[in-house]
């Protein structure tokens, strides 16, 4: 589809542009949508406002990749130009059926722009034969009203196939209690959908949220996992500190009875910038997740340059030690251009000299068994801009501190003998993976000069340090 070039902001300064993460060509990006594999390409769509650097009438931006790391920007797939989605093509997902790519998305309707909170939402389908051109069904919407006990919040369909049936889960809110829940629908053909019921719901607003956005329901290593983005969970001292969360529950779901025995909601990523994550099943069976690497109501310094928003690295999900692990897909190794660090080091304080600290893959690997120290800190410092990663051995805690307001984020690790810290930096982002993805922090970080990278421990610690320059 064609955009009106005259109305589109231009990128005026490359200073914060990322080198290997997906970001909009210009304009605004939020949630990942329609993450799928079709005719030899990974496709990733996203919530896109081409006519401003802030959220606005939502389009579906579109990119594709052969390898999950080199992305080609394509023309937007959807614009809010039909009766079924007049105020926005909100989040949704994709699935391949009979060699055709089906997009299922939410049509947003605001009858009176002066009252943006008085809206209604429907579910719609668009189809493509080539992965480039998309046709909305003339019969849209495919789901025109929410269940009778639902509020107006009814969006973000995530479609999947199970035992020869199509299903989708939807983000929603119970009308009476104003609490979040995930709904289940079933279809034989992706067009005619039958409401099944509630997969699971918030029992309390303060601990589970008033609305669940972007649910994603899938099976991994014997677990039925529901990843969702709850709004309204109250922060505790060290958890749920972002405005909105992305969390998950794990358990066993029965598609006949809709009985879901699951444990508590857990945060999926502990960083300041992570939301609306979506997964896909790769052809080789890996479950891969991408999230929006930003947060609502955060500052977006890149807005001054004509764009806003980015995606995380694609991460492979695994289920280990009764929790989800996330770790960058193996394809990310292709980004290495040169090894810049490779040494065994023991000491308490040093600067890591690397040619380009903002495009770096860094790994610190230490055996903690005989170490009497308590604390290890890695710091990126550029003037006032500082991002610090600290491991506290006594309580097995990771703390990320980003200078500025609301600085700290926390994650608890299992007691173990080794510490393996892996970090990817990309111009204005830092992603931190502890112990192969047991704890993850996604951070936007905007140094305006090249940061100094330093390592500090309270007592000498032997570690292996490796680093690669990334393209
Ligand atoms: N963003 C979309 C909605 C979704 C929200 C609109 C989550 O579909 O619920 O841009 O960030």
- pLDDT of 133 over the 80 cut: yes
Task: Work out the widest C-alpha separation in the chain, in whole angstroms.
Answer: 69
Q: Are residues 399 and 448 in the same domain?
A: yes
**Domain range enclosing 420:** 332-470
Q: Give 170-223 as a 3 state SS string.
A: EEEEECCCCEEEEEEEEECCCCCCEEEEEEEECCCHHHHCCEEEEEEEEEECCE
Is 91's C-beta closer than 6 angstroms to any atom of ligand 1? Answer: yes
Q: Is residue 281 classed exposed, middle or buried when 0-12, 13-18 and 19+ CB atoms within 10 A define those classes?
A: middle
Is 329's C-beta closer than 6 angstroms to any atom of ligand 1? Answer: no
Q: Are residues 344 and 321 in the same domain?
A: no
Last residue of a domain, one of 276, 311, 328: 328
Q: What is the DSSP letter of 82?
A: S
Q: Are residues 160 and 24 in the same domain?
A: yes
* 239-266 confidence digits (pLDDT tens): 999 999 999 999 999 999 999 999 999 9
Pocket probe for ligand 1: among 146, 155, 158, 173, the residue whose CB has the most ligand atoms within 8 Å is: 155
Atom of ligand 1 nearest to the CA of 58: 10
Q: Whose CA is nearest to atom 9 of ligand 1?
A: 213
pLDDT of residue 102: 98
C-alpha 192 – ligand 1 centre gap (Å): 24
Pocket probe for ligand 1: among 213, 242, 244, 294, the residue whose CB has the most ligand atoms within 8 Å is: 213
User: How many domains is the chain built from?
Assistant: 2
Reference 209, options 236, 235, 230, 182; nearest CA is 230
C-alpha 267 – ligand 1 centre gap (Å): 19
C-alpha 396 – ligand 1 centre gap (Å): 35
C-alpha 335 – ligand 1 centre gap (Å): 31
Residue 247, Cβ neighbours under 10 Å: how many? 23
Q: Are residues 289 and 339 in the same domain?
A: no
Is 213's C-beta closer than 6 angstroms to any atom of ligand 1? Answer: yes
Show the tokens assigned to 13.
């300064």
Is 121's C-beta closer than 6 angstroms to any atom of ligand 1? Answer: no
- pLDDT of 353 over the 80 cut: yes
Q: What is the mean pLDDT of residues 79-96?
A: 98
* 395-412 confidence digits (pLDDT tens): 999 999 999 999 999 999
Residue with tokens 């030899």: 40
Atom of ligand 1 nearest to the CA of 31: 11
* 355-396 confidence digits (pLDDT tens): 999 999 999 999 999 999 999 999 999 999 999 999 999 999
C-alpha 370 – ligand 1 centre gap (Å): 48
Last residue of a domain, one of 328, 363, 398: 328
Catalytic site residues? 31
pTM: 0.98
C-alpha 45 – ligand 1 centre gap (Å): 13
Give the pLDDT band (50/70/90) at residue 172. very high
Q: What is the mean pLDDT of residues 415-444?
A: 98
* 25-69 confidence digits (pLDDT tens): 999 999 999 999 999 999 999 999 999 999 999 999 999 999 999
Torsion of CA 157, 153, 29, 60, to 10 degrees: 50
* 179-200 confidence digits (pLDDT tens): 999 999 999 999 999 999 999 9
Share of the chain above pLDDT 70, in %: 100
- CATH code assigned at 148: 2.115.10.20
Atom of ligand 1 nearest to the CA of 55: 10
Q: Are residues 341 and 304 in the same domain?
A: no
Q: Are residues 291 and 344 in the same domain?
A: no
What values do phi and psi take at 329, rounded to 5?
-60, 155
Atom of ligand 1 nearest to the CA of 244: 11
Is 294's C-beta closer than 6 angstroms to any atom of ligand 1? Answer: no
Alpha carbons 234 and 134: distance in angstroms, whole number:
40
318 alpha carbon, distance to own chain's centre: 16
Atom of ligand 1 nearest to the CA of 214: 9
Is 90's C-beta closer than 6 angstroms to any atom of ligand 1? Answer: yes
Q: 328: which residues sit within 8 A by CB, 6+ positions away?
A: 313, 314, 315, 316, 424, 431, 433
Show the tokens assigned to 316.
């492979």
pLDDT of residue 296: 98
Show the tokens assigned to 467.
């680093």
Alpha carbons 345 and 43: distance in angstroms, whole number:
42
Alpha carbons 237 and 216: distance in angstroms, whole number:
28
Pocket probe for ligand 1: among 47, 216, 278, 294, the residue whose CB has the most ligand atoms within 8 Å is: 47
Atom of ligand 1 nearest to the CA of 108: 8
- pLDDT of 85 over the 80 cut: yes
Q: Are residues 400 and 268 in the same domain?
A: no
pLDDT of residue 1: 76
Lowest mean pLDDT among 203-207, 228-232, 241-245: 203-207
Q: Are residues 186 and 306 in the same domain?
A: yes
* 323-342 confidence digits (pLDDT tens): 999 999 999 999 999 999 99
pLDDT of residue 266: 97
Q: 299: which residues sit within 8 A by CB, 6+ positions away?
A: none
pLDDT of residue 2: 84
Atom of ligand 1 nearest to the CA of 213: 9
Is 28's C-beta closer than 6 angstroms to any atom of ligand 1? Answer: no
Q: Are residues 339 and 305 in the same domain?
A: no
- CATH code assigned at 347: 2.60.120.560
C-alpha 155 – ligand 1 centre gap (Å): 8
For residue 330, the SS3 value is helix
Give the pLDDT band (50/70/90) at residue 471. confident
* 97-117 confidence digits (pLDDT tens): 999 999 999 999 999 999 999
Is 30's C-beta closer than 6 angstroms to any atom of ligand 1? Answer: yes
Q: Are residues 105 and 246 in the same domain?
A: yes
Q: Are residues 323 and 420 in the same domain?
A: no
Q: Are residues 304 and 355 in the same domain?
A: no
Is 300's C-beta closer than 6 angstroms to any atom of ligand 1? Answer: no
What values do phi and psi take at 164, rounded to 5?
75, 5
C-alpha 106 – ligand 1 centre gap (Å): 9
For residue 132, the SS3 value is coil
Show the tokens assigned to 118.
């008085």
Q: What is the mean pLDDT of residues 446-460?
A: 97
Last residue of a domain, one of 295, 328, 361: 328
């Amino acid at each position: 589809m064609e955009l009106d070039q005259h109305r589109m902001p231009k990128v005026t300064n490359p200073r914060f542009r990322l080198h290997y993460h997906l970001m909009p060509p210009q304009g605004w990006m939020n949630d990942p949508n329609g993450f799928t594999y079709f005719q030899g390409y990974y496709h990733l769509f996203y919530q896109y406002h081409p006519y401003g650097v802030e959220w606005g009438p939502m389009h579906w931006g579109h990119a594709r990749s052969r390898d999950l790391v080199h992305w080609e920007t394509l023309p937007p797939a959807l614009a809010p130009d039909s009766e079924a989605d007049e105020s926005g093509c909100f989040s949704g997902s994709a699935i391949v059926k009979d060699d055709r790519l089906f997009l299922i998305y939410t049509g947003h309707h605001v009858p009176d722009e002066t009252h943006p909170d008085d809206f209604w939402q429907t579910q719609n389908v668009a189809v493509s034969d080539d992965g480039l051109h998309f046709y909305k069904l003339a019969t849209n919407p495919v789901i025109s009203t929410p269940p009778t006990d639902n509020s107006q919040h009814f969006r973000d369909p995530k479609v999947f196939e199970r035992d020869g049936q199509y299903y989708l889960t939807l983000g929603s809110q119970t009308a009476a209690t104003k609490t979040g829940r995930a709904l289940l629908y079933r279809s034989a053909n992706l067009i005619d959908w039958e409401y099944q019921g509630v997969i699971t719901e918030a029992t309390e607003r303060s601990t589970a949220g008033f609305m669940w956005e972007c649910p994603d329901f899938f099976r991994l290593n014997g677990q039925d996992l529901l990843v969702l983005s709850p709004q309204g969970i109250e922060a505790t001292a060290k958890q749920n500190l972002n405005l909105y969360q992305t969390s998950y529950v794990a358990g066993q779901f029965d598609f006949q009875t809709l009985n879901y025995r699951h444990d508590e909601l857990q945060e999926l990523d502990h960083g300041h910038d992570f939301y609306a994550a979506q997964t896909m099943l790769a052809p080789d069976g890996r479950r891969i997740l991408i999230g929006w690497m930003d947060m609502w109501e955060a500052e977006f310094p890149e807005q001054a340059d004509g764009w806003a928003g980015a995606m995380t690295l694609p991460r492979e999900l695994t289920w280990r030690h009764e929790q989800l692990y996330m770790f960058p897909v193996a394809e990310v190794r292709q980004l290495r251009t040169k090894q810049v660090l490779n040494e065994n080091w023991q000491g308490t304080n040093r600067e890591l000299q690397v040619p380009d600290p903002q495009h770096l893959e860094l790994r610190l690997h230490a055996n903690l068994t005989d170490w009497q120290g308590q604390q290890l800190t890695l710091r990126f410092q550029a003037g006032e801009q500082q991002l610090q990663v600290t491991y506290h051995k006594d309580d097995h805690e990771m703390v990320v501190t980003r200078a500025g307001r609301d600085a700290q984020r926390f994650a608890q690790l299992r007691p173990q003998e080794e510490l393996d810290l892996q970090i990817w930096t990309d111009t204005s982002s830092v992603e931190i993976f502890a112990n192969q993805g047991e704890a993850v922090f996604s951070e936007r970080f905007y140094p305006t000069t090249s940061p100094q990278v330093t390592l500090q421990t309270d007592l000498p610690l032997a570690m292996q340090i490796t680093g690669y320059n990334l393209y």
